[in-house]
Amino acid sequence: MCGIVAAIGQRPVWPILMEGLRRLEYRGYDSAGMAVLNAQGQIAASRAVGKVQALADQISAQNLQSNDFQGCSGIAHTRWATHGVPAERNAHPHMAGGRVAVVHNGIIENHASLRIELQQAGRVFLSDTDTEVIAHLFDQNLAAGLAPEPAFYATLNRLHGAFALAILVTDAPDQLFVARQGSPLVIGVGIGELFAASDALALLPVTQRFVYLAEGDRAVLTRDAFTVVDALGQAVTRLIVESTQRADSADRGGYKHFMLKEIHEQPRAIADTLEGRISNGRVLPAAFGVGAEAVLRDVQRLQIVACGTSYHAGMVARYWFEDILGLPAAVEVSSEFHYRNPVLEAGTLLVMLSQSGETADTLAALRMVRQRMPSMP
């Protein structure tokens, strides 16, 4: 799982970005990077393979020499390799033209054809990633005469797949561009500063107020405000939500590693999840959404699809479904499910599990089912 942190404000943002990356370490990663728009109007970027601390040491050394990272807007990223091996050249952010920097989670499904198109136009690629095509597309739109905001929307219109991204542009020093399509992204609202991240946990030290972007949302952030348009290009209003999460949620809390912490937190996590959703020993129908009661009444069997630790959680849940409900349940790895032609009989409840909400194979499996069975509720 990759992680995104972005910030724009009135103070140097690199310490905020670095702390945000540390709070996303629980997601796993193989490299990290950061880009800051500095006082000289240039993008200073640094990337490192390995721990976030390696990136922090690298940036601290650069700041001692030149103060390159003393800027008030920036983006940062932890990467888990999908396209391209774990290497500095494949770590984010990716840049184009010296004026566009991009961090990205997810997969650009049409990246190969876009890369060929851009190479034929004279663009030179420095990495093996799908992310770099985003930077070049944006820069190409700027070179064609588009202002940064229209160039942002034009770039997104060319991308197919599931992604979340944040973009820094020298031509728009007072703006940050972010988007969510099939991969989560949240905006954090401060006083005279705004933030964005893959997970609100990354931003809890700087704000408790969040805007959870809906599927297909694109947003432009300034120091004092944000605007959001939906997938159809219509301006929309998204509510600011006060978070009840604790800032220590992303700390190891004295445990040796995050896995041990999560094991010991399971009772509390289950209690928090069920709070307000149980009455007289039964889960309230409203907990599953509008119309769920009618759908659940017709369920005859379950198909659970997941990867990694979510797959193991599904394996455990299978016993509960069969033992308590008396319903047959099957569990399959998302990548296997995605690349075959599964037969889903009437009355099958499909359960997709993802700890992050952005597991690429699980999302691909879900899209496949929706395409083949558009009438499935």
Q: What is the CATH number of the domain that holds 306?
A: 3.40.50.10490
User: What CATH number does residue 212 fall under?
Assistant: 3.60.20.10
What is the reported pLDDT for 151? 98
Structural domain includes residue 249: no
pLDDT digits (tens, 9 = 90+) for 101-154: 999 988 898 999 999 999 999 999 999 889 999 999 999 999 999 999 999 999
Residues 231 and 361 in one domain: no
Query: Are both 227 and 298 inside the same structural domain?
Result: no
133 and 22: one domain? yes
Are both 57 and 178 inside the same structural domain?
Answer: yes
SS3 of the chain: the string is: CCEEEEEECCCCCHHHHHHHHHHCHHHCCCEEEEEEECCCCCEEEEEEECCHHHHHHHHHHHHHHHCCCCCCEEEEEEECCCCCCCCHHHCCCEEECCCEEEEEEEEECCHHHHHHHHHHCCCCCCCCCCCHHHHHHHHHHHHCCCCHHHHHHHHHCCCCEEEEEEEEECCCCCCEEEEEEECCCEEEECCCCEEEECCHHHHCCCCCEEEECCCCCEEEECCCCEEEECCCCCEECCCCEECCCCHHHHCCCCCCCHHHHHHHHHHHHHHHHHCCCEECCEECHHHHCCCHHHHHHCCCEEEEEECHHHHHHHHHHHHHHHHHHCCCEEEEEHHHHHCCCCCCCCCEEEEECCCCCCCHHHHHHHHHHHHHCCCCC
231 plus 362 within the same structural domain: no
What is the mean predicted confidence (pLDDT) over 8-12? 95
Residues 98 and 233 in one domain: yes
Last residue of a domain, one of 202, 227, 244: 244
Do 25 and 101 lie in a common domain?
yes
Residue 377 lies in a domain: no
Domain that holds residue 118: 3-244
Q: Which of 97-111, 310-324, 340-354 is the least confident region?
A: 340-354
Last residue of a domain, one of 196, 226, 244: 244
**Pair (157, 294) in one structural domain:** no
**Are both 215 and 355 inside the same structural domain?**
no
Same domain, 171 and 318: no
In a domain, 259, yes or no: no
pLDDT in tens, 265-313: 888 878 777 777 888 878 877 777 777 777 888 899 999 999 988 999 9
> For the residues 47-63, what does the mean pLDDT come to?
86
- Say what the pLDDT of residue 321 is: 92
Tell me how many domains the chain contains: 2
Say if residue 172 is in the same domain as residue 52: yes
Does 266 fall in a domain? no
Note whether residue 262 is domain-resident: no
Q: Find the range with the poorest average confidence among 40-44, 72-76, 242-246.
A: 242-246
Residue 141 placed within a domain: yes
8 and 52 together in one domain = yes
Of 244, 261, 292, which residue sits at a domain end?
244
Q: Tell me the pTM.
A: 0.76
pLDDT tens-digit map of 219-258: 999 999 999 999 899 999 999 999 877 666 656 667 777 7
